[in-house]
Amino acid sequence: MYRGPLTAQGGWVGLIVILLALVIVAVLAKEGLKQYGLVPGAPVATKAGTPGERVRAPGAGGVEAPDLGAAPATPASALERAHGVEDLVKRQAAERAAREDGTAK
Report how far Cα 85 is from the mean position of its chain's Cα atoms. 15
Question: What mean pLDDT is reported for the chain?
Answer: 75
101, part of any domain: no
1, part of any domain: yes
- Range of the structural domain that residue 26 is part of: 1-46
82, part of any domain: no
Say yes or no to pLDDT of 23 above 90.
yes
What is the tens place of the pLDDT at every residue in 46-91?
Answer: 566 666 666 666 555 555 555 656 555 555 677 888 888 999 999 9
2, part of any domain: yes
Max mean pLDDT among 27-31, 42-46, 77-81 falls in: 27-31
How many domains does the chain divide into?
A: 1
83, part of any domain: no
Burial degree of 37 (CB within 10 A; 0-12, 13-18, 19+) = middle
For residues 57 and 50, the answer to whether their CB atoms sit within 8 Å is: no
Separation of alpha carbons 79 and 76, rounded Å: 9
Residue 31's nearest CA partner among 44, 22, 20 is 44
6, part of any domain: yes
